[in-house]
A and B are shown apart, each in its own frame.
Chain A
Amino acid sequence: MDLAIIQDLLMTGFLRGGLYASMAVGLALVFGVMNICHFAHGEYYVLGAYCAYFAFVTLGLNPILSLLVASVLSFLAGAISEKLLFYPLRKRSKGEWIMNAFLLTAGLSVVLQNLFRVFFGMKYRGITQFWKTTFHVLGMSLPADRIIAFFIAMVAIAALWLFLKKTRIGRAIRAVSQDENGAKLVGINLDRIQTLTFALGSMLAGLGGASMLSLSPAYPYAGNKPLISSWFVVTIVGLGNVPGAIVGGFIVGIFESVSFFFLGSGWQDVASLTLLILLLLFKPTGLFGTQIKSVWE
């Protein structure tokens, strides 16, 4: 086989993996800290895409500012939905939290998709590009948007890492993921940490949707594909494990681009699901499953 094709496949997969990684990191964080199996994550991706679209096209802001607006708004949307929905549910559910929260996210996903439909219609809102250049990498010419979206994802992950490792609040988030009672007893206000965590997860999704706007336009149901792929990532690496989600993002990105090339789009999902089933059969804890619960150590 042609070396150029392999290179091309790896590059596409790698760039796609960057997005999956940042989406999956959000999922892993939300599960690791709050024990929520988040099935409305894709809707925050779409929300980010819409925000970026309106900021860039309607308001005519520059790309960086548009992405910033999208991140801030998806952060706020995450915080508001946590306070409005998950917080009251947490106060009321006793032992059934995981199931209740999962059902709530599933319902939230449907509601948000239909709200998008009502407000924005069944119309694709995309742009051709944020940045009008092409980069030449290893003899391939790639649109600048792809490369920049990838770097934005990496910068977001690195920023999250610094935040979790180096700040007092970040340390508190990790503490909550490891031992909720211990966290309460050292004076950490759990309610605030939960809201912040959900907002951060939503922001990662929103930023992903915004930075990919030229490649996948905003559309009420545009969140389904990234949701499924990022769930695929967190399931194969083990739920609630952030560094695993990063590595997994790249594995899945490359796996998808290779299987797409060899099997075509119809069979791509079959290949992914087969891999998932085999993995769960032989290593149910996921590739990087650990004994001690923690989001990022």
Chain B
Amino acid sequence: MLEIENLQAGYDRLQVLWDVSMHIREGEFVALIGANGAGKTTTLRAIAGLLTPQGGCVRFLGENITGYPAHRICQAGISFITEELNLFQAMSVEENLLLGAYLCRNQNLIKTNLDKVFSFFPILAERRKQLAGTLSGGERRMLALGRGLMSNPRLLVVDEPSLGLAPIIVLTVFKTLQELHAQGVTLLLVEQNVTNTLQITDRAYLLERGKITLAASSKELLENEYLKETYLGKR
């Protein structure tokens, strides 16, 4: 579904990603893990079109989308939920969700999606008239996920959903992602919370200093000695 080949990306003269290659098949739940500053977010920004790759190729559903602007990548069917969420703070929960369906002109479909999001996150239905800027951290995270789902994406890309949340809410977020996956959504997840991530994903890539250094099924990676020592903190 998504194929990335030899992706090079960075900021001006500072190259961050070196020959990153990965792929995601339809229906898979894939994680991209790695330490702070390894280039995980940069990879996602390059996929979503917030950053123009300096080289390499990104294909989605057979279409070469390398260097497309973000709004066209959204149109192609990729929904990116950033770490900072990028919500419209001064708008209500409902308006944020409706903007998530900006590209959809079918009012009935928008209504169906809205109901779907509300059944997923009942708290959003309760707060529908409340301004996004006044929500709690967990609610904002859910709103961002909900907004991302409003466009009926083929692929949902989520950056650090556990960041800054209380452990109990982190669990809810992870459960939600699992549930989305169970409903057939293809997911690419970036996380620093390696143990939890490997428990819910099918496969994972390890990114270190801008290069993919490990790629295997999550089960295998949980048993990987190197990963255990450096990321999982077990001996």
A 245-297 contacts with B by CB, 8 A: 292-294, 297
Task: List, in ascending order, chain A residues with CB within 8 A of B98's CB.
Answer: 171
Tell me the complex Cα distance, A293–B74, Å.
Answer: 24
Q: How many B residues, CB 8 Å from partner?
A: 29
Determine how close the nearest CB of chain B comes to the CB of A229; give it in whole angstroms. 28
Q: Closest residue to A295 on the B side, CB-wise?
A: B90
Task: List, in ascending order, chain B residues with CB within 8 A of A185's CB.
Answer: 48, 50, 70, 74, 79-80, 82, 86
Task: List, in ascending order, chain A residues with CB within 8 A of B48's CB.
Answer: 185
Whether the Cβ atoms of B89 and A178 lie closer than 8 Å is yes
Task: List, in ascending order, chain A residues with CB within 8 A of B95's CB.
Answer: 171
Whether the Cβ atoms of B102 and A186 lie closer than 8 Å is yes
Known: A184-B70, A187-B71. A172 touches B102 (CB 8 A): yes
A164-183 CB contact bits vs B (8 Å, 1 = yes)? 00001001101100110111
Task: List, in ascending order, chain B residues with CB within 8 A of A184's CB.
Answer: 49-50, 69-71, 74
Task: List, in ascending order, chain B residues with CB within 8 A of A10's CB.
Answer: none
Determine how close the nearest CB of chain B comes to the CB of A162; give it in whole angstroms. 15
Task: List, in ascending order, chain A residues with CB within 8 A of B121's CB.
Answer: none
B 69-111 contacts with A by CB, 8 A: 69-71, 74-75, 79-80, 82, 85-91, 95, 98-100, 102-103
Task: List, in ascending order, chain A residues with CB within 8 A of B88's CB.
Answer: 174-175, 178-179, 182-183
Task: List, in ascending order, chain A residues with CB within 8 A of B75's CB.
Answer: 187
Known: A171-B95, A172-B99, A181-B82. A190 touches B71 (CB 8 A): yes
Whether the Cβ atoms of B89 and A187 lie closer than 8 Å is no
> CB of A188 within 8 A of chain B?
yes
Q: How many A residues, CB 8 Å from partner?
A: 21
Contact partner, A178, options B71, B90, B102, Cβ 8 Å: B90
Determine how close the nearest CB of chain B comes to the CB of A177; give it in whole angstroms. 9
Known: A184-B71, A185-B82, A187-B74. A292 touches B89 (CB 8 A): yes
Known: A172-B99, A181-B82. A186 touches B74 (CB 8 A): yes
Tell me the complex Cα distance, A194–B49, Å.
Answer: 19
Determine how close the nearest CB of chain A comes to the CB of B14; give it in whole angstroms. 14
B 97-156 contacts with A by CB, 8 A: 98-100, 102-103, 131, 133, 147, 150-151
Determine how close the nearest CB of chain A comes to the CB of B201; give it in whole angstroms. 23
Whether the Cβ atoms of B87 and A182 lie closer than 8 Å is yes
* Chain A residues within CB distance 8 Å of chain B: 168, 171-172, 174-175, 178-179, 181-190, 292-294, 297
Q: Which 8 A-B pairs have the closest CB atoms?
A: A182-B86, A294-B90, A184-B70, A187-B74, A297-B90, A187-B103, A178-B88, A187-B71
A-B contact pairs, 16 of them (CB 8 A): A168-B102, A174-B91, A175-B88, A175-B91, A175-B99, A178-B88, A184-B50, A185-B70, A186-B99, A186-B103, A187-B74, A187-B103, A188-B71, A188-B99, A190-B71, A292-B90
* Chain B residues within CB distance 8 Å of chain A: 48-50, 69-71, 74-75, 79-80, 82, 85-91, 95, 98-100, 102-103, 131, 133, 147, 150-151
